[in-house]
Amino acid sequence: MGESLPRVHGGAQQHSDTLRRPVHTLRVKMVLLGSSGVGKSSLALRFSKDEFRSTSPTVGCAYLTQVVHLSNATLRFEIWDTAGQEKYHSVTPLYYRGAHVALLVYDITQRETFVRAQVWLKELEKQYIPGSTVIWLVGNKGDLAHDRQVPLEEGESLASNKGLYFIETSALSGEQVNELLQSVAHRVFECIGAQQGGLTEWQETPTVDLRHKDSFNLFASCCKVGP
């Protein structure tokens, strides 16, 4: 499974599968925000590895990609990790320009990270264009529930007050991580994908593309017309 499907020559089953599916892949920019040490990077690694095939060799986990297949679309997530240290706070607005999804991550065992998440949220709201960004509040380190400092209800109420989506995950055990990515994909496609110019199509560089096997005329392929 993954974005390399069109390039698989042997796998007939997979191939017919892709043909039935709508061909276009939409690109989604997802930004991870949160204090350092809350597990943003681990979460990002989980997103791109666990069960899914990693799309790029991991020299770093600051920029990762992951493809999610929905029933009527394929989304290619570009996951942007941000520096969580407080001293870089002033420059982070640059990261979430044009982001479709923002994940506000906090550590449920550290109250201050929850407070910091609210600061990020305020910052985000300054830049926020309603309907252009889907924001999730993510309480990470669910596996350390015995050291919990932020009750589940507190997170939920903050989310409902601010109109955010909420989930608690564990990047360590992988619990709820895929569920998070799947529901993010659905929400993003529902909220933004339908809009005009909401999500742009993503194209792999056509090196060994089946569609181009017969003719090399760049304009010959007809099945894909942009949004």
Partner 1 sequence: MIRSHCILRTERRGIHVDQSDLLCKKGCGYYGNAAWQGLCSKCWREEYQRVRQKQIQDDWALAEKLQREEEAAYASSHGVQTQSTTPPQPGHTSLGPFSKFEEKKTNEKTRKVTTVKKFFSPSSRTASKKETQEGKTSPSISRHASFDTDQVSKDFVEFLKNLQKPGREIHKQCRAFLVNMSSKKDLGADELSECVQDFYQNLADRQMTHFKGSSESVEQVMDQVEKYIMTRLYKSVFCPETTDDERKDLATQNRIRALHWVTIQMLCVSMDEEIPEVSENVVKAITDIIEMDSKRVPRDKLACITRCSKHIFSAIRITKNEPASADDFLPALIYIVLKANPPRLQSNIQYITRFCNPSRLMTGEDGYYFTNLCCAAAFIEKLDAQSLNLSPEEFERYMSGQASPRCSSAEGEWPHTGQGAGVAATNPVLAQLNHNLEQLSSISSRQEKVMEAAQSLQADLLSWTESVQREVNDILEKYPLTCTVSAIDANNIDNDNLPPPLTPQVFAG
Contact residues: partner 1, CB under 8 A? 27, 29, 32, 36-37, 40-41, 44-45, 58-63, 78, 80-85, 87-88, 90-92, 94-95, 97-98, 200-201, 203-206, 216-219, 221-226
Q: Please, what is the minimum distance in Å from the beta carbon of residue 28 to partner 1?
A: 9
Structure tokens, 209: 């593309």
Could you tell me the smallest distance in angstroms from the CB atom of residue 30 to partner 1? 10
List Cα–Cα distances, 75 to 24, 70, 79, 88, 96, in angstroms: 9, 8, 12, 30, 19
E runs forming strands in 62-206: 63-69, 74-81, 101-107, 134-140, 165-168, 200-202
Smallest distance, Å, CB 152 to partner 1?
Answer: 27
Q: Which residue, 84 or 139, is less far from partner 1 as judged by CB? A: 84
Nearest to 136 by CA among 98, 196, 91, 179: 179
- Chain-centroid distance of CA 122 in Å reads 21
Closest approach of Cβ 226 to partner 1, in Å?
A: 4
Q: Beta 101-107 vs 200-202: how paired, if at all?
A: unpaired
Nearest to partner 1 of 12, 223 (CB atom): 223
Closer CB to partner 1, residue 41 or residue 113? Answer: 41
**Contact criterion met (CB below 8 Å) for 142 and 116:** no
With respect to partner 1, which residue has the nearer C-beta, 49 or 162? 49
Residue with Cβ nearer partner 1 (87 or 213):
87
Q: How far is the CB of 100 from partner 1 (least distance, A)?
A: 9
153, 195 Cβ separation under 8 angstroms: no
